[in-house]
Amino acid sequence: MSSGHPGAALLSPFKEHEEPDLNIEFSDVEARNKLERRLLWKLDLRMSMLVLIYILNFIDRNNVSAARSRGLVTDLHLEGKQFATLLSILYVGYIIMQIPSNMFLNFIGKPSLYLPACTVIWGIISALTGITANITGVLLTRFFLGFVEAAFFPGAVFLISKWYKRDEIGLRLTILSCGNIISSAFGALIASGILNDMNDNLGHAAWRWLFYIEGALTVFVAIIAVFILPDFPINTKWLSDDERRLALKRMKEDVGVGDETETEQGGRCHGLYLAVTDWKVWWIALAAASQVVASSFVIYFPTLTATLGYNPTVTLLLVAPPFVCAAIVAFVLSRHSDRAQERFYHMSASYIVGIIGFIISMCTMNTAARYLSLFLMEQSNAGIMLLVAWISTSFPRPPAKRAVCFSLINSIQQLGSIAGSYAWQSNWGPTYRYSYGICLAASSISITMCWVLRQHLKTLNKKLEEEEQEKGIKERGFRYLL
């Protein structure tokens, strides 16, 4: 049945795998706008579950950093670079699984089942970390944790890209990515409470309870997510017929071509072929990997706040304020970027603020100055969020290619996470000047590479404009965001 909005053409009841007729126009602009606002409100409310899962994703991923100084290293007999290996092994599994996972998600078209199922599995694996007794056990759990977690972020980005237009997606992806920032802030607070109050409960060390409790929480939230998350516009069952047609029509209007079967050609691996043969994918991936190296300080944040000279509890509490501030900056910057329809300069401004933070930390051991530098460094995460939004608008169609692009770029950029895990050696502390120097160089490289990409996209936009003029097309078509 139609939703009954005046001015919206009626559709026959929706059937699975049957595309509504998008050529029927909405005759009343006001009625369409009202329906669109309701659709976006409904989507935003349901998509907020992705933020909660992403918070848990990073809490489960980074809780080893909080547990590092509270018994984990001693109980598992870690030596030398074994803790760095413990961090980096997660990204090996993460890299391996991302591309096949997103290809599978595009094929089955059921993110409301697939993403929560993966979340349940990684929650169980995270909890099992608490029963490990040696380096072999914890390495195995960390590897498989990354293997399963790989499904979530590229899958969530792909899901969001199926619903939101180019002038809407930057803010939504930033809100999603703020889950990373929030987890870093409040994950430390949760860890502080558990590590202080749960030691020797039922004969288990506090760091083991940290994994038990946070893993169980992840499983609980994942089960709820099954009933909340949407699928794709073509097969989400809680949409009315008018809402479904409008959702599909919005995506077609945004790029000039639909986002379903009309842009899909070739076999199941055709999207993979299109992605790996596009040099822009590899270029952006390397630029992103370079910036991930620059952001490697995030996984060592409790270690860096420890250099300020406070006790372990205060050290964990000091982690939160820089991340809260960064979340606010990211929200404001991404909203302005969406409105201005510009990516590079907004992103570069965020990176430059981070570079200033690196320079301050390299030059002084003053407590106030170094804590201020942590605020500045953390702002660079806003630039990474805008880069994710830039990726989504630089590879709009077909969906199979876009799905592989997200996962391929995210996989390659995790090589930066592996390299960054070894950029903070204990013997470089407490100044960590060499580490900050590596971050500074990596961020500078990323800015340069993104500028080259911007110039190329600018050239492509000129060609698109010339083609329209030659064909006598007066209506402005698709343009890459710069």
Q: What is the pLDDT of residues 383-431, one digit of tens each?
A: 888 888 888 778 766 777 877 887 888 888 888 888 887 888 888 878 8
Per-residue pLDDT reduced to its tens digit, 339-388: 888 999 999 999 999 999 999 999 988 889 999 999 999 989 888 888 88
- pLDDT at residue 9, as a whole number: 39
Whether 350 contacts 446, CB under 8 Å: no
Per-residue pLDDT reduced to its tens digit, 171-216: 888 888 887 777 777 777 777 778 777 777 777 788 889 889 999 9
Whether 439 contacts 293, CB under 8 Å: yes
Percent of the chain at pLDDT > 90 equals 29
Locate 215 and state its tokens.
């893993």
User: Residues 6 or more apart from 318 whose CB is under 8 A from it?
Assistant: 305, 308, 310, 371
Supply the pTM of this predicted model.
0.76
- pLDDT at residue 115, as a whole number: 95
Cis peptide before 154 (omega within 30 of 0): no
Rounded to the nearest 5°, which phi and psi values hold at 74?
A: -70, -45
What is d(CA 145, CA 93) in angstroms, rounded to the nearest whole number? 8
Percent of the chain at pLDDT > 70 equals 90
Whether 138 contacts 132, CB under 8 Å: yes
Locate 448 and state its tokens.
């340069």
What is d(CA 416, CA 443) in angstroms, rounded to the nearest whole number? 12
- pLDDT at residue 47, as a whole number: 93
- pLDDT at residue 6, as a whole number: 40
- pLDDT at residue 450, as a whole number: 95
User: Which of 2-11, 28-37, 92-101 comes out lowest in average pLDDT?
Assistant: 2-11
Closest to 356 measured CA to CA, from 444, 459, 449, 224:
444
Count CA atoms within 13 Å of residue 193 on its CB side. 6
User: Residues 6 or more apart from 29 whose CB is under 8 A from it?
Assistant: 7
Q: Which of 32-41, 77-86, 337-346, 440-449 tops mean pLDDT? A: 440-449
The angle at the Cα of 96, spanning 293 to 221, to the nearest 5 degrees, equals 85
- pLDDT at residue 116, as a whole number: 96
Count CA atoms within 13 Å of residue 401 on its CB side. 23
SS3 state at 480: coil
Q: Which residue has the tokens 């199941």?
A: 268
Per-residue pLDDT reduced to its tens digit, 97-118: 888 888 888 888 899 999 999 9
Query: Is 207 exposed, middle or buried (CB count within 10 Å of its CB: 0-12, 13-18, 19+)?
Result: buried
* In the predicted structure, residue 262 carries a pLDDT above the cut 70: no
Helix H segments across 256-343?
270-276, 279-294, 301-306, 312-317, 320-340
- pLDDT at residue 344, as a whole number: 93
SS3 state at 473: coil
Q: Which residues lie across from 204 on neighbouring strands?
A: 201
What is d(CA 125, CA 212) in angstroms, rounded to the nearest whole number? 10
Indicate the residue type of 171.
L
Whether 122 contacts 97, CB under 8 Å: no
More confident residue, 24 or 304: 304
- pLDDT at residue 272, as a whole number: 80
Q: What is the DSSP string of 333-377?
A: HHHHHHHHT--HHHHHHHHHHHHHHHHHHHH---HHHHHHHHHHH
Closest to 295 measured CA to CA, from 374, 203, 191:
374
| Number of CB atoms found within 10 A of residue 238's CB | 10
- pLDDT at residue 24, as a whole number: 53
The pLDDT confidence band at residue 451, using thresholds 50, 70 and 90, is: very high
What is d(CA 328, CA 476) in angstroms, rounded to the nearest whole number? 34
Whether 326 contacts 378, CB under 8 Å: yes
Q: 346 to each of 41, 155, 334, 358, 376, how far by Cα in Å?
A: 27, 25, 8, 19, 15
* In the predicted structure, residue 48 carries a pLDDT above the cut 70: yes
Average pLDDT, the chain: 83
Indicate the residue type of 343.
R
What is d(CA 329, CA 245) in angstroms, rounded to the nearest whole number? 35
Q: Which residue has the tokens 């000047």?
A: 433
Q: What is the DSSP string of 377-437?
A: HHTHHHHHHHHHHHHHHHS-S-HHHHHHHHHHHHHHHHHHHHHHHTSS-GGGTTT-HHHHH
Closest to 98 measured CA to CA, from 365, 407, 372:
407
Per-residue pLDDT reduced to its tens digit, 148-171: 998 998 899 889 988 888 778 888
Per-residue pLDDT reduced to its tens digit, 237-246: 888 888 888 8
Average confidence (pLDDT) over 5-29: 50
Cis peptide before 430 (omega within 30 of 0): yes
* In the predicted structure, residue 10 carries a pLDDT above the cut 50: no
Share of the chain residues as helix, strand and coil, in percent rounded to the nearest 5:
75, 0, 25
